Structure 1
Amino acid sequence: MKFFLVCALEPSANLHLREVLKAYKKEYKEFDLIGIYDESLCEEFNLKSKPLYSSHEFSAMGFIEVLPLIFKAKKAIKELVNLSLTQKIDAILCIDSPAFNIPFAKALKKANSKVKRIYYILPQVWAWKKGRIPIIENHFDILASILPFDEKFFSKSIYVGHPLLDEIKEFKNQDDINNILSKKDDEKIIAFLPGSRKSEIKRLMPIFKDLSIKFKGKKILCVPEFNLKRLNLYGDVSEFEIQTNAPKVLKYVDFAFICSGTATLEAALVGTPFVLAYKAKAIDIFIAKLFVKLKHIGLANIFLDFAGKNELNPEFLQEQVSVENLYQAYLKYDYKAFFDKVSFLKEYLQFASAKNLAKILYEIK
């Protein structure tokens, strides 16, 4: 049985980790974990060990909210390095979260840890901080990429596929598309996905609630399962049907308004027409603009930029996020262009990643 040290700090990282563990269990049977991950994985996979830290302890958004976690992160890194030196660990799997995983990899190398290090979901050096490239390549043994264009920046990256192609079980077919195109506006089912973090919800939900009044059909508010116990974050939700499974919701609805994030790429791959809306703290946007030089912030649009294609969906940022702007974008939506680009996007990403990463974990020496 193999024993892996895992660092999965974000909710999305744990979703991706879950699919990798499913694939590993199916193909190679037993394993155990230690590190930072969602404790729900312990029961689901019958793990003997518990996480050193729950991933929920490290959830934050933006530059300001991260600051209080710095001391906890330094303590965690020290403990994880010690585990790599004192326990028989077969591999270290770091998922996303460069602010934690790069210092962790540096500390491992400094401590002369011999355990092989895998970086899954590489930092977005194509957006900013290209200076991290040699640091990452010098401190990790395997770079498991989920983006076809990572190879333009990392000399030793391996494209393993995209995790959302594991996690999304149903996609819209031609009948679904025809149904969307034939429906009248007052028949359409509209989804609202205002994000998962308190700050995202606080900024977008008032606008989404006012926007929802313009629609006469069914309206679904999609919230993460871990937010069900704190629906008060969303204010008055009596106008909405509450759902938690984003891929299923996106397969079911005809149109969606989505906070920037993984859900926008989910919508694109499922084939649900959508508009992206994003509001953040002014200081975070100011800092981001100093360093990030991209035409778009939505993942699907970024992918199409690299492929030399026009944007898939409209994006509204900061003061542009208004009821009128979002509603007009809905009324003027180019459905044909959207569905054409969805087909291209699936071809571009090629295949899912979990099985390929599980194979790397199993074969690592």
Structure 2
Amino acid sequence: MKLLVSALEPSSNLHLKSLLPRLENVAIEGIFDRSLGNPLYGMEDFSVMGIVDVLGKVLQGRRAVKEMTDLAGACDKVLLIDAPAFNLPLAKSIKQRYPEKEIIYYILPKVWAWKKGRAKKVDRYCDRLAAIFPFEDRFYTRAEYVGNPLLDEISVARRPHEEETIAFLPGSRKGEVTRLMPVFREVAAALKGRRLLLSVPSFLSEEKVEAWYGDISGFTVVRDAQETVAQAHFAFVCSGTATLETALIGTPFVLVYKARGLDWTIGNALVKLPYKGLANIIMDFAGKEPVHPEIFQEEVTAENLLKQYETLDRSRFGEKSEALRKMLKHGSAENVAKLVMNRV
């Protein structure tokens, strides 16, 4: 079988990497990380750095949609992973030219947060909808819950170090890191005498680490986020997928996030949800209480973070973490492979 794949983002390619060993006699073509095969475009071809770059990428994206549509004619099926800004126009183009071509969408657009109109487009142009959150069938008429990819990809179990250990995860983007690190340094100074771990993405060069993080002499740097969290008794985690990973690993933590003022204002205007963390969003849709605290913007102070460290009910957190795992049930790769191979 030939499978046309569109995986533009690092997280999409992580999910694809987990899926590929489960696909028997399947050759992939399209857009994905070059380490996974010989793509038409590599994932890095679509990285965006600024406004001028964005304009160039729009033109490149249109060319890529046309080329991918041409390529779809020689493929048996299509697998789209996340990235709705590109994958929805691609799905429309393929379905209009090849109405009988089966299109599977994995990691559905987050219409429960914003751009609800995308749900109708996904339903119109895609045949199988592989949802990774159990509540997504409320927004998509044909969503099939396949499990959550993090339950395939979390490779560690929590094993707190014998010495009191605190983990700091300031994110992977420059703005996130530079806004959070001054506060994290204050917190670290107050927790002096404990073992302090700082999670730094493996893809960041030493030059970028020095420029973004500033003085990290009080921390032990760990280049694996899951490993950082697994060793910790408590963690401070920047908003993002890392918060759901931490909740599933079971390490008590507080979500922290500081954005530029305008970005925060626009984001809150667009996204009308009571929580920002994925674990809390999942629990909220199930009518359950949040897993962890969330602190944002001017409330992100050393004093407030230390208060959470001192007062968070660790035992209750553990119960909610276990409830979250049970709610998500299992990983998704096996079920997505069955969709591709026509086994369900």
| Alignment match of 1:218 (pick from 186, 195, 207) | 195
Q: CA deviation at 1:339?
A: 0.8
Determine whether 1:55 maps to 2:50: no
Q: Which moved more, 1:56-65 or 1:261-270?
A: 56-65
- The match for 2:284 is 305
Aligned-partner Cα distance in 2 for 1:256–1:6: 36
Q: CA deviation at 1:247?
A: 2.0
- The match for 1:167 is 153
Aligned-partner Cα distance in 1 for 2:195–2:18: 32
State the SS of the aligned residue for 2:79: strand
Aligned-partner Cα distance in 2 for 1:203–1:8: 30
- The match for 1:83 is 71
Q: Which moved more, 1:66-75 or 1:30-39?
A: 66-75
> Match for 2:166: what amino acid?
I
- The match for 2:235 is 256
| Alignment match of 1:354 (pick from 320, 325, 333) | 333
State the SS of the aligned residue for 2:135: helix
Query: Is contact 2:95–2:101 with CA below 8 Å preserved after alignment?
Result: no
Query: Is contact 1:84–1:113 with CA below 8 Å preserved after alignment?
Result: no
Deviations 1:274-302 (A, max 9, x none): 11111223332222222211000000000
Within a 5 Å distance, the mapping from 1:139-154 to structure 2 comes to 139-154=125-140
Determine whether 1:231 maps to 2:174: no
Aligned-partner Cα distance in 2 for 1:282–1:60: 22
- The match for 2:111 is 125
Query: Is contact 1:189–1:218 with CA below 8 Å preserved after alignment?
Result: yes
Identity of counterpart residues, as a percentage? 45
Label 1:67 to 1:291 Cα distance change in 2 as closer, same or farther (>3 A): farther
> Match for 2:183: what amino acid?
I
Query: Is contact 1:125–1:132 with CA below 8 Å preserved after alignment?
Result: yes
Q: CA deviation at 1:62?
A: 11
Query: Larger helix proportion, structure 1 or 2?
Result: 1
Q: CA deviation at 1:228?
A: 4.0
Aligned-partner Cα distance in 2 for 1:131–1:153: 10
State the SS of the aligned residue for 1:296: coil
- The match for 2:165 is 189
> Match for 1:41: what amino acid?
L
TM-score, length basis structure 1: 0.86
Q: Which moved more, 1:264-273 or 1:307-316?
A: 307-316
Query: Is contact 2:198–2:228 with CA below 8 Å preserved after alignment?
Result: no
- The match for 1:12 is 11
Aligned-partner Cα distance in 2 for 1:64–1:329: 42
Determine whether 1:200 maps to 2:199: no
Query: Is contact 1:61–1:197 with CA below 8 Å preserved after alignment?
Result: no
Aligned-partner Cα distance in 2 for 1:51–1:236: 40
State the SS of the aligned residue for 2:204: helix
Q: Name structure 1 gaps, 5 residues minimum.
A: 43-49
Q: CA deviation at 1:117?
A: 1.0
Label 1:203 to 1:111 Cα distance change in 2 as closer, same or farther (>3 A): farther
Query: Is contact 1:117–1:142 with CA below 8 Å preserved after alignment?
Result: yes
- The match for 2:60 is 72
Aligned-partner Cα distance in 2 for 1:337–1:10: 35
Q: CA deviation at 1:210?
A: 2.5
Count how many residue pairs are aligned between Structure 1 and Structure 2. 341
Label 1:289 to 1:89 Cα distance change in 2 as closer, same or farther (>3 A): same
Aligned-partner Cα distance in 2 for 1:128–1:301: 17
Q: CA RMSD in A?
A: 2.4
> Match for 2:114: what amino acid?
W
Aligned-partner Cα distance in 2 for 1:61–1:301: 31
| Alignment match of 1:31 (pick from 26, 31, 45) | 26
